[in-house]
Amino acid sequence: MRVTKEQKAWVDITIGKIEEKMFCVAERNLHKIPYTAKDGMFNDYSESKICWWTNGFWPGIMWQMYQLTKEELYRKAAREAEEKLDRNFLVYQKLDHDNGFKWLLSAVADYRLTKDPDSRNRGLLAAQLLAGRYNPEGRFLRAWNEWGGQRHTGWAIIDCMMNLPLLYWAWEETEDPRYLHIADGHGKTALKYFVRGDGSVRHMVELDPVTGDFVREYGGQGYGEGSSWTRGQAWGLYGFVLSYLHTGNQEYLHASRRIANYFLANIPRDGIIPVDFRQPEECEWEDDSAAACAACGLLELSKHVEEADCRLYRNTAIWLLQTLDRERCGWSKKTDYLLERCSVDYHGSDHNIPIIYGDYFFIEGLLKLADKELFMW
């Protein structure tokens, strides 16, 4: 990617720091699937929480590092996590729209790099299960199965835009256009019901599961209805440009640009991203993962727009990543995490903590800038 001399120097130094730290982290955590860290050390979701939606990000980091360094250690860690994830295929209740996050970054990444037939099999199985969530009349992918005593039959969420690339991959891999029709059908519904006039996006939308008509929105993981949860804005920004990449539909590119422009207009002066752009001013909860994911989306978007906008999006992404590097990265090799202050949501209790997807997108962003990423989406 075209960057200035100073920016390139910073990218090279930061990737060097990532390489040094991640090797120690991978050695210490070879058999785990981490989610967060306590007292600096990663926890492990590979046993009791194997179905959790974030379990692809660790193998995703390991594949990115393997692509960068060709160190066998990373391949081993990634493959072990991928094999452990097989248990999820047998748990109906915990199979949901997040098959993309789980299997694009594990099995599909493996297949892209090694052409392993078992990994291809896992990727296609995951895609088939995701396709099975499609409501053909309402034209949306149902987010989850029943939980909390409610059926949630008509619920869809913006995060799903990041899962559609699993369907695009299956379409490209099998040449079966059903995968494209389903991804594109959901994408068009998301354009209609998630993107607001000001370029912000809703988090959760309930549709009538029989007719597909709009019922209502929910604040979801954000501050409230009508607010803008920052990780959701990043999912939309990045997700729509990915749908453009796979379909060539300009409407997706336009949506991604509108969300990006809204995001840019709301970044606080210090470059630190809150949990929700509409949260109370005195609230100190942040979300480094939203900053890192938005940066990746902006970098992808910058490749598809004219020069002036390209510079704007690329430089903003670099500013976000440099702010994280300077203010929010734990570079000590004695700790496992990179980003210090991610938040699960606004109303819950997990704020300003390390979370694995924050680290994943930080690494992806740096590798994008250096043209060294393994493209996962």
b/e burial code for range 189-220 (CB count within 10 A of at least 16 → b): bbbebbbeeebbbbbbbbbebeebeeeebebb
Distance CA 377, CA 371 (A): 15
Counting residues that bind ligand GLY (by CB under 6 A) gives 4
Pick between residue 74 and residue 357 the one whose CB is nearest to ligand GLY: 357
Distance CA 86, CA 298 (A): 33
Token output for 58: 């660790």
- State the nearest-atom distance from the C-beta of 13 to ligand GLY, in Å: 30
Distance CA 60, CA 45 (A): 15
List the catalytic residues.
Answer: 98, 159
Pick between residue 231 and residue 278 the one whose CB is nearest to ligand GLY: 231
Q: Tell me, rounded to whole angstroms, the distance of Cα 169 from its chain centroid.
A: 16
Tell which positions 24-53 bind ligand GLY, by CB under 6 A: 53
- State the nearest-atom distance from the C-beta of 236 to ligand GLY, in Å: 11
Pick between residue 318 and residue 365 the one whose CB is nearest to ligand GLY: 365
Pick between residue 68 and residue 234 the one whose CB is nearest to ligand GLY: 234
β-pairing verdict for 214-218 and 41-42: unpaired
Distance CA 57, CA 64 (A): 10
Pick between residue 137 and residue 146 the one whose CB is nearest to ligand GLY: 146
Is-contact 292 321, C-beta < 8 A? yes
- Asked if 287 is part of the footprint of ligand GLY (rule: CB under 6 A), the reply reads no
Helix H, strand E, coil C: the string for 111-138 is: HHHHCCHHHHHHHHHHHHHHHCCEECCC
Tell which positions 150-209 bind ligand GLY, by CB under 6 A: 159
Pick between residue 11 and residue 160 the one whose CB is nearest to ligand GLY: 160
- State the nearest-atom distance from the C-beta of 290 to ligand GLY, in Å: 9
C-alpha closest to that of 352 among 266, 287, 282, 290: 287
- Asked if 221 is part of the footprint of ligand GLY (rule: CB under 6 A), the reply reads yes
Q: Among 231, 257, 258, 328, which residue sits at the site for ligand GLY (rule: CB under 6 A)?
A: 231
- State the nearest-atom distance from the C-beta of 221 to ligand GLY, in Å: 6
Chain position whose Cβ is nearest to ligand GLY: 159
**x-or-dash pattern for ligand GLY, window 95-134, by CB under 6 A?**
----------------------------------------
Tell which positions 53-92 bind ligand GLY, by CB under 6 A: 53
Pick between residue 159 and residue 336 the one whose CB is nearest to ligand GLY: 159
- State the nearest-atom distance from the C-beta of 332 to ligand GLY, in Å: 26
Q: Which residues bind ligand GLY (CB under 6 A)?
A: 53, 159, 221, 231
